[in-house]
Structure 1
């Protein structure tokens, strides 16, 4: 008879520790993302979610798309109404792609990939191109691991299904 109360107490204590750990992660994420941008260093392994500042030019000839991806928003911007999200959603969803553009860093000759944002499928031609040298501030993100349920990206095409290392 003591097994149920003892196990429930143990699970409750575990949840409190887990909650405190999550609060620590949220505080760390907030501190990291709100910090002032730093110049892009050579090694970025420990800069996940850190703001970096870099100057250079976009290379639109090698631009790729990641998707299709639904717009992640709690309301439809065109009508202002709440939208439900999910597998069995009855609301209309807006599909599009993340536009990933290579960015040639000024000074060291390296090229980084920049997620320029989400755009609706029918609005690709309206997406603005920045000409010449520009300075950008972005957040460092690492490569994603492909989920077993996501289609493999095919090399040579300008369409990817997840963030991946192109080496």
Structure 2
């Protein structure tokens, strides 16, 4: 009985986690439908900007462009092109994920990507500036090619002042980069699956307990 109670409590806890994630996802969905906001030159909080449509004006800093490796688009391996944008005339920058480009068969050759010169206006969705995936080697940074993007590491390497968000660019420009962003799932379905497993195990233990109890009573009555 103690085991059954513990399993039911774990199932209920997973249900509460799912409700929390669904509630948070609803808030983010509402935020994504709000009008675009201009990204200021003063630091912002990531939590206030996540999934919002944002705009930023300034100048790209192409010498600090990185190629974020191991990005798959329509079954083809490639890179995400990340370039910092200096906001206005300030010292504040924001990273812009400009899109995906296919990798060359010769991985030692990087695809050529042109960067607009002069003042530009960028619009897109605010996402986390830290992008981590599977680490294929201990060498996380190799020139312009990075396996993972860690905001603090990027700040250290470049010396730039950065906003805590990254813009997933959505501008319709002909630069050869693919921009079809998929927003991650809330993860509530996983918690619902765990809850179902706990409740199923509690049900199974209950059946086993009842069967053994009936057998014991029958053996004692003989």
User: What is the TM-score normalised by the length of structure 2?
Assistant: 0.55
Match in the other structure for 2:175: none
Q: Which runs of structure 2 are paired with 1:10-159 in the superposition (5 Å)? A: 10-41=9-40, 42-46=42-46, 47-71=49-73, 76=74, 93-122=75-104, 124-125=111-112, 127=113, 129-144=115-130, 149=135, 151=137, 152-154=139-141, 157-159=143-145
Task: Identify if the C-alpha distance between structure 1 residues 57 and 147 changes in structure 2 by more than 3 Å, giving closer, same or farther.
Answer: closer
**Alpha-carbon shift at residue 50 of structure 1 (Å):** 2.9
For 2:123 and 2:58, the matched residues in 1 are separated by 11
Which of the two has higher C-alpha Rg? 2
How many residue pairs match? The answer is 144
What runs of 5+ residues in structure 2 fail to find an aligned partner? 105-109, 157-222
Any idea what the Cα deviations from partners look like across 1:52-81, whole Å, max 9, x if unmatched? Answer: 21111223333210112222xxxx4xxxxx
Structure with greater helix percent: 2
Any idea what the Cα deviations from partners look like across 1:112-163, whole Å, max 9, x if unmatched? Answer: 22110111114933x55434322111333344376784544337x1111112
Q: Which moved more, 1:111-120 or 1:39-48?
A: 39-48
Q: Which moved more, 1:41-50 or 1:146-155?
A: 146-155
